[in-house]
Amino acid sequence: MSHAVHVLARPQVASGFRLAGLRSDDAPDVAQGVARLRELLRDPAAGVVLVEDSLYEALPPELRAELGRRPLPMVVPVPGPEWGERRTAAEAYIVELLRQVIGYRVRLR
């Protein structure tokens, strides 16, 4: 039997996963996210559920404990987008060149 990969995230993030070809479910708030996650836990075809980390951290403790005891579906928190400071295009280009030449990322100050 093959198992499916599902994504559970805020609507803004879930749409990006849909564009990448993954089955994505919107969770506009924690209550709806918990309800949908419980449905996925009962789905025998669900193999992996990627849950946006902000939603995962808000899950009730008893549900998180249950997730740790279950073999399938494997529930994995994934980081959501960060809207912090961005690098300039020139800085990003230099860092990428250095990564390719040296073999690892460097931090410019």
Mean pLDDT by 10 residues, the chain (109 residues): 92 92 93 96 94 92 91 91 69 72 66
Pairing of strands 46-52, 4-9: parallel
Contact call for residues 55 and 33 (beta carbons, < 8 A):
yes
pLDDT at 36: 96
CA distances to 14, 43, 54 from 80, rounded to whole Å, are 10, 25, 7
In the chain, domain spans: 4-81
Decide if 69 contacts 95 (C-beta within 8 A): no
Which listed CATH number (3.40.50.720, 3.90.10.10, 3.40.50.10580, 3.10.330.10) goes with 4-81? 3.40.50.10580
What's the whole-model pTM score?
0.73
